[in-house]
């Protein structure tokens, strides 16, 4: 609307000391592309940034934000009225994990992925035929690197434009609900990528992340860690979580990489991390944030669920905050997954010596509200397919896999 002239529509800082900048531009229509041109007084830093709160974005590799009206006429009232029963802890829940971009493609059209609207009908039919009660979508939040499957999120309020508009994604959720299928979103508050147009070094200072890389940089993932001690950062993330539950009617959030949030020494060697105020390795600020997150979700949307991917034995992950828990509704049972796959990997003739791998999980089965999970993490990075993990010839492999899924069910 102004030929991308950075000096054409200057924002001004509020006089309340909040650090918030604001401005008003008349006449902008839906579909207008925009960015923030940041001119910082720190080291002459100048950069074009996407709007962290944008609800729609350009298709990658373009990085602009788009003015968009989120109006949509929903038809899932019957599902929402009954959702508490579908999401209850004692309900028969069976979750199908899906990456929308690779689930099915269109060979006759350049092998492109299906759009949100195209996938809605096929996915609903597939889930109903196989008896799945919910789908769990790998992160749909806008992300610059397609190969991250969405786990390097930057657009915390925008469904990725790779498959359509926000209304198209609403249609996907709406149709699944009308077909009796719940929708859970993977949500990543644990870290964010270092792309120049994103959250990193936003105004020439460490705004969303910690200044000290021992607290603010993830060495394994080469990404930045949110500064959970800042009120503004907590508000940003809490707003994102509630936004998806409110505006998109999703039925739950599966919070990714919770262990990396809980431990200050996660993925770090001695001398690469800073202890908390008590000298321990627990990230007290992240613990406070996670409790705030779950309290907010269950206060505003008590018929939804939050699910933790927490790979350690942190206590009381799915216990209420008022008794000292983190407040999640459910937790992935990573220990059960590891032991069970290890057991089924064995030739049946040797399994009699390893039955403890099946029985051990009984000892802690009721410590948490566990979800038995076999996720995409178990079939990537050279780990092989599920059928490939099974011993024997083809007939035996399929028989073993049937036995595993029946045991899991």
Mind listing the pLDDT tens digit of every residue in the chain (409 residues)? Answer: 888 888 889 999 898 988 888 999 998 999 999 999 999 888 788 999 999 999 999 999 999 999 999 999 999 999 999 999 999 999 999 999 999 999 999 998 989 999 999 999 999 999 999 999 999 999 999 999 999 999 999 999 999 999 999 999 999 999 999 999 999 999 999 999 999 999 999 999 999 999 999 999 999 999 999 999 999 999 999 999 999 999 999 999 999 999 999 999 999 999 999 999 999 999 999 999 999 999 999 999 999 999 999 999 999 999 999 999 999 999 999 999 999 999 999 999 999 999 999 999 999 999 999 999 999 989 888 889 999 999 999 999 999 999 999 999 8
- Nearest one of 195, 189, 194, 255 to 227, comparing CA atoms: 189
Q: State the catalytic residue, choosing from 51, 186, 251, 309.
A: 309
Both tokens of residue 78?
């019957």
| Distance (Å, whole) CA 158 – CA 63 | 12
- Mean pLDDT over the full length of the chain: 96
Report whether 191 contacts 221 (CB < 8 A).
yes
| Distance (Å, whole) CA 15 – CA 36 | 20
| Distance (Å, whole) CA 277 – CA 288 | 14
Instruction: Give 336's Cβ-side CA count (13 Å radius).
Output: 21
DSSP code of residue 209: B
Both tokens of residue 206?
């460490």
User: Phi-psi bin for 24: left (phi > 0), alpha (psi -120 to 50), beta?
Assistant: beta
Report whether 246 contacts 238 (CB < 8 A).
no
The CATH code of the domain at 77-408 is: 3.20.20.80
Task: For residue 309, indicate whether it is catalytic.
Answer: yes
pLDDT, tens digit, 9 for 90 and up, residues 131-188: 999 999 999 999 999 999 999 999 999 999 999 999 999 999 999 999 999 999 999 9
Task: For residue 174, indicate whether it is catalytic.
Answer: no
Residue entry with tokens 């993330």: 237
The torsion angles phi and psi of 359, rounded to 5 degrees, stand at -90, -20
pTM: predicted TM-score of the whole model, two decimal places: 0.95
| Distance (Å, whole) CA 136 – CA 95 | 6
Q: Which helix (H) or strand (E) holds 359?
A: helix 356-359
Report whether 149 contacts 139 (CB < 8 A).
yes
pLDDT, tens digit, 9 for 90 and up, residues 351-408: 999 999 999 999 999 999 999 999 998 988 888 999 999 999 999 999 999 999 999 9
Q: State the catalytic residue, choosing from 256, 285, 310, 339.
A: 256
- Helices 116-130 & 166-178 angle (0-180, nearest 10): 20
């Amino acid at each position: 609307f102004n030929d991308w002239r950075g000096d054409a529509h200057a924002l001004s800082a509020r006089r309340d000391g909040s650090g918030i900048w604001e401005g008003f531009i008349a006449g902008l229509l839906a579909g207008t592309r925009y960015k923030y041109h940041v001119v910082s007084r720190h080291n002459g830093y100048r950069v074009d940034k996407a709007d962290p709160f944008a609800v729609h974005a350009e298709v990658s590799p373009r990085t602009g934000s788009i003015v968009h009206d989120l109006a949509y006429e929903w038809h899932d009232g019957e599902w929402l009225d009954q959702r508490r029963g579908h999401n209850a802890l004692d309900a028969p829940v069976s979750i199908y994990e899906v990456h929308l971009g690779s689930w099915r493609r269109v060979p006759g059209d350049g092998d492109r992925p299906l759009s949100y609207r195209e996938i809605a009908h096929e996915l609903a039919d597939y889930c109903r035929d196989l008896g799945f009660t919910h789908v769990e979508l790998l992160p749909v939040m806008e992300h610059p690197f397609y190969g991250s499957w969405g786990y390097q999120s930057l657009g915390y309020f925008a469904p990725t434009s790779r498959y359509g508009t926000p209304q198209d994604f609403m249609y996907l959720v709406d149709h699944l609900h009308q077909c009796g299928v719940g929708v859970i979103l993977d949500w990543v508050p644990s870290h964010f990528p270092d792309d120049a147009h994103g959250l990193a070094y936003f105004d020439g200072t460490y705004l969303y992340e910690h200044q000290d890389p021992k607290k603010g940089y993830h060495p394994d993932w080469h990404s930045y860690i949110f500064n959970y001690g800042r009120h503004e950062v907590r508000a940003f993330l809490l707003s994102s979580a509630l936004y998806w539950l409110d505006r998109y009617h999703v039925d739950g959030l599966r919070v990714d990489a919770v262990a990396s949030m809980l431990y200050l020494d996660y993925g770090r060697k001695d001398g690469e991390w800073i202890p908390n105020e008590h000298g321990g390795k627990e990230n007290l600020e992240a613990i406070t944030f996670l409790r705030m997150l779950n309290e907010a979700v269950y206060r505003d949307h008590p018929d939804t669920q939050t699910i933790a991917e927490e790979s350690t034995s942190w206590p009381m992950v799915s216990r209420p905050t008022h008794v000292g828990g983190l407040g999640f509704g459910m937790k992935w049972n990573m220990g059960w997954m590891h032991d069970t796959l290890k057991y089924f990997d064995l030739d049946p003739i040797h399994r009699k010596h390893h039955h403890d791998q099946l029985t051990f999980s009984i000892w802690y089965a009721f410590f948490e509200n566990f979800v038995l999970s076999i996720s995409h993490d178990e079939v990537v990075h050279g780990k092989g397919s599920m059928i490939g993990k099974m011993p024997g010839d083809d007939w035996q492999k399929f028989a073993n896999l049937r036995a595993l899924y029946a045991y899991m069910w």
